[in-house]
Amino acid sequence: MKLKKVMALTLAGVMALSAVGCGNTGSETADSAAAAKTETKADSTTQVATEATPTAQTAPTDIKALNDGKLVIWTLANDLISFGERFQEQTGVEVETVVIEPANYPTKVQTALLGGETEPDIIVGEPQMLEDFYDAGFFEDLNQFGAQDYADQIVDYVWDVGQDADGIQRAISYQITPAGFYYRRDIAKEVFGTDDPTEVGKLFADYTTILETAQTLKDAGYRIFASDAETQYFSGDSAWVVDGVLNVAQARYDYMDLCIELYKQDLTAYASQWATPWYMAMAGEVPLLTAETQWGTDDMNIWDAESFNAATEGYETTQVFAYGLPAWGVLTMRDNVGETSGSWGVCAGPAYGFGGGTYIGVSSQSERKETAWEFVKFCTLNEETANWWIEFSEGDTVSLIPALEAHKDDANEVYGGQKLYAFWLEQAKGIDYSKVTRYDKAIGDAWGNAISAIKTGEKTKEEAVAEFYDVVESTYPEITVNR
Amino acid sequence: MNNIGFHIKKSILYIFLIGLGVVCLVPFLLMMVNATRSGVEITRSFTLIPSSHLKENWDTVFEFFDLFRGMWNSLLVAIPATLLSVYFSALTAYGLAMYKFKGNKLIFTMILVFMMIPGQLGLIGFYNLCTKLHLVNSYIPLIIPAIASPGTVFFLRQYVMSALPPALIEAARIDGAGELYSFHRIVLPIMSPALATMGIMGFIGNWNSYLTPMIILNKNDKFTLPVMMATMRASTDIQSEQGAIYLAVAISIIPILLVFCFFSKYIISSISAGSVKE
């Protein structure tokens, strides 16, 4: 009897509590809705859209009337916030952008979409996430909206990255990220007698030539690279996995030898990537470090400018010839070149490569797919947006060919007036996406570890390569490994 | 002679404890100091001398999100979740420890078994359930499940069995007290040290909880503090924001410190209070 009473009371309590909880959320939503309304009152077009009256659409653009009045974007970088704001201005569609930490973005999207969430209309992905997202069916088929009509307007490799295994278009990126070598024109002229990008490109034509170039530069008192990671975007022109079999091409071994030689013969400035001396070398003189001091010492912190300068006073200095970075490196360099601004150039590397990029697609469970497709189109296929983005991001490289063509004569003063958009377009054309597999990141990292182990003398080449095979075999049992 | 030995022992003990205290406090102090330094200074070295970048860090944090909104959201989740978990766990633990009924052992074993299952396993199913119940983007799925916290029940049951003599409840029954009345008036006060301990642990757990809120909440203005702070890592230039991250973390632990100060008083005061004369 007593127990029953207790139970009944408890249950009643729970119900009362959850009712209170519901009440709270209800009123809160109402509040925020009201707030949203007052915010948008100033802009009449926006208000029309918020109240979801499609016929009264008066947006002054060629974007067709949208029924939904709202769009939710889940993204992992801040770029889409700006795109979203501009879309809202132009169409009156209320855009809500949620930024999620990149490390947890796949978890969040997977849980939500597998859990039946219809909320995000736009989801994005970086190249290494995309294949899993395609397989899980998270991205809507864009062909049904007529995406293929635009096939020749987007740089080929970006178009290919956006396709699943069956060749169906699922996502499109607004930027291209082909890699190239950024080099010092003044040094090129002094040492090699030319600063022409095509001619300098020949100095990087293959791995053996790079070694020769490096030696020549060292003899002249310069260093070819700041760090030995500069060649990573050009690390091989073959696929890691072909038909389920691990494929270690000769070029991979050549690349390995290149890294080892660069290290053993002190051909780089040992300025670790993204550390202070690495940035410093962009502006000219940099203290010459050695293999032992490349990660800093007790009284020298390579991640900090002041301490680094103080600790390396009186060190022998050198200047660095080249950096290997994707197209977004244009922005990194611009911010760091200082007095060497204008004396830089960009040329092609020994292979085609690319790094990163945000791909935008429509969630397959979205209830506002038409609007979402309009947004994808707005970000990636709209020339006006592309031009705006080039200006707004101060030099990011877009993927829309007409916009690249329109800007192909833009001379970039940091790079001695070189016409970079034309160059990147050319580089992007060479990228063969069929050589990219979902295993690239993990296998590439394992190969990189093997290289580090060999060059520091920690392991012999045989040991390191054997361990590389072991790692691949145990990480991906589905891959056949022929040693 | 004996006295000197005692003093030496005491001194060693105190030096040891002071050392421990320093070890515990230095990270907190460093965090506070780092909150006032710029990203570049932080990567340089560590020092206990505050720098002058507090204002910049503050601006950076608030440029990203409204920190106080996040704190308020976190409080909205953590306080009810902690209270519910402590109260209902106490109720369950008392029931399991004091009443003899069929299946008591079985229920307790089941609770032990459930303790071992990691919650992350059912994440997708949980999300699915929340969608069906229209509870995504609300705090209810973060609060209500706290009622069933096997770990707390287990701890409190052991405590009740050791600290609460059945004679006390029997005496209350003879005097005519109802079961719930005696639970509220007699059992809860006796359990308060254990409740405070579990309350502190629960509050810290709920306050810092990241995975479930990250999955369940989809609106920027609903994000709890840990989820908000994680979005800071989505920005491109991590180094320049180190100081700001420290500041955000420093501010975010203030409620935890407050809760700890408040509850730890109960732990100490109740441990010494006796209830039955032997």
A343 DSSP assignment: S
CB A361 within 8 A of CB A172: yes
Q: Which of A98, A299, A336 to mutate to test the interface with B (most CBs of B within 10 A)?
A: A98
Looking at every residue in chain A, the average pLDDT score rounds to 79
- Do A246 and A481 contact (CB within 8 A), yes or no? yes
**Which residues of B, range 229-268, sit inside 8 Å of A by Cβ?**
230-231, 233-236, 239
CA distance A105 to chain B (A): 10
CA distance B227 to B252: 12
Q: Which of A60-64, A306-310, A451-455, B58-62 has the lowest mean pLDDT?
A: A60-64
Flag whether B70 is in a domain.
yes
Q: Which of B128, B137, B183 to mutate to test the interface with A (most CBs of A within 10 A)?
A: B128
Q: Where are the domains of chain A?
A: 58-177+356-413, 181-354+435-475
Closest CB from B126, B220, B236 relative to A98: B220
The answer to the question of residue B97 being in a domain is yes
Q: Identify which of A102, A111, A301 has the shortest CB distance to residue B127.
A: A111
Q: For the domain A181-354+435-475, what is the CATH superfamily, name and number? A: Periplasmic binding protein-like II (3.40.190.10)
> Any chain B CB within 8 A of the CB of A17?
yes
With contacts defined as CB-CB under 8 Å, which chain B residues touch A97?
A: 220
* B123 at interface of A, judged by CB pairs closer than 8 A: yes
pLDDT for res B58: 86
What pLDDT does A115 receive?
A: 82
Give the pLDDT of residue B21: 92
What distance in Å separates residue A250's CA from the closest CA in chain B? 36
Is the CB of B215 less than 8 angstroms away from the CB of A107? Answer: yes
Domains identified in chain B, total number = 1
Residue A42: what pLDDT?
Answer: 37
Residue A236 contacts residue A252 (beta carbons within 8 Å): yes
A322-350 tens-digit pLDDT: 998 888 888 878 877 878 888 888 998 88
Residue tagged 């287990």 (tokens) = B154
Residue B27 forms part of a structural domain: no
Q: For residue B40, give the nearest of A100, A102, A305 by CB distance.
A: A305
Q: Please answer whether residues A200 and A345 qualify as being in contact, where contact means their C-beta atoms are separated by less than 8 angstroms.
A: yes
Q: Where does the pLDDT of residue A61 fall: very low under 50, low under 70, confident under 90, or very high at 90 and above?
A: very low
Residues in A touching B219 (Cβ below 8 Å): 96, 98
- Output the pLDDT for position A28: 37
* Three-class SS of A155-209: CHHHHHHCECCCCCECEEECECCEEEEEEEHHHHHHHHCCCCHHHHHHCCCCHHH
Note whether A333 and A323 are within 8 A (CB). yes
B contact test, residue of A14, A25, A74, A95 with most B CBs within 10 A:
A25
Residue B63 lies in a domain: yes
Residue B189 belongs to a domain with what CATH number? 1.10.3720.10
Closest residue in A to B45 (Cα–Cα): A301
Tokens encoding B62: 């608030």
Domains A58-177+356-413 and A181-354+435-475 share a fold: yes
By Cβ distance, the residue of A22, A78, A107 closest to B235 is A78
Interface A-B: count of C-beta contacts within 8 A: 105
Q: Is B233 within 8 Å of A101 when comparing Cβ atoms?
A: yes
pTM of the model: 0.73
pLDDT over 90, % of chain A: 11
Q: pLDDT 10s digit of each residue in chain B, 278 long?
A: 568 888 999 999 999 999 999 998 888 888 888 888 876 666 556 677 787 888 888 888 887 788 889 899 999 999 999 999 999 999 999 999 989 899 999 999 998 888 888 777 788 888 888 888 888 889 999 999 889 888 899 989 988 988 888 898 999 999 998 999 999 998 998 888 889 888 888 998 999 888 889 888 888 888 998 888 887 766 555 555 677 888 888 888 888 888 888 877 776 655 544 455 44
pLDDT at B1: 55
Q: Which of B43, B220, B221 sits opposite A304 (nearest CB)?
A: B43
Q: Where is average pLDDT lowest: A115-124, A141-150, B30-39?
A: B30-39
Instruction: Supply A299's token pair.
Output: 């009284």
User: Any chain B CB within 8 A of the CB of A18?
Assistant: yes
Check residue B85 and give its pLDDT. 94
Closest residue in chain B to residue A120, using alpha carbons only? B218
**Which residue range(s) make up the domain with B150?**
57-271
Asked whether the CA dihedral A362, A77, A380, A182 is positive or negative, the reply is negative
| Burial (Cβ within 10 Å: 0-12, 13-18, ≥19) of residue A49 | buried
- How many Å apart are CA A400 and CA A397, to the nearest integer? 9
Using CA atoms, how far residue A48 sits from A24, A92, A371, A437, B190, in Å, is 29, 8, 16, 46, 62
Distance of alpha carbon B131 from alpha carbon A4, whole angstroms: 33
Better pLDDT: A161 or A229? A161
Using CA atoms, how far apart are residues B150 and B156, in angstroms rounded to an integer?
A: 10
Q: How would you class B266 by CB atoms within 10 Å of its CB: exposed for 0-12, middle for 13-18, buried for 19 or more?
A: middle
Residue from B218, B229, B245 whose CB has the most chain A CBs within 10 Å, to mutate: B218
**Inter-chain touch B45–A25, beta carbons under 8 Å:** no
Residue A367 near residue A148 (C-beta atoms within 8 A): no
> CA-to-CA distance for B106 and B98, rounded, in angstroms?
15
- A58-177+356-413: CATH topology is D-Maltodextrin-Binding Protein; domain 2 (3.40.190)
Q: Would the CB atoms of A101 and B231 count as touching at under 8 Å?
A: yes
With beta carbons less than 8 A apart as the criterion, state whether A246 and A472 touch: yes
With respect to residue B29, please indicate whether it lies within any of the assigned structural domains. no
Distance CA A401, CA A395 (A): 15
| Mutation target vs A (from B51, B138, B147; most A CBs, 10 A cutoff) | B138
Q: Do B233 and A102 touch (CB under 8 A)?
A: yes
- Model confidence at A181: pLDDT above 80: yes
Tokens describing residue B9 = 């022992």
Nearest to A116 among B101, B131, B138 (CB): B131
pLDDT of A375: 92
Query: Which of the four pLDDT bands, split at 50, 70 and 90, describes residue A46?
Result: very low
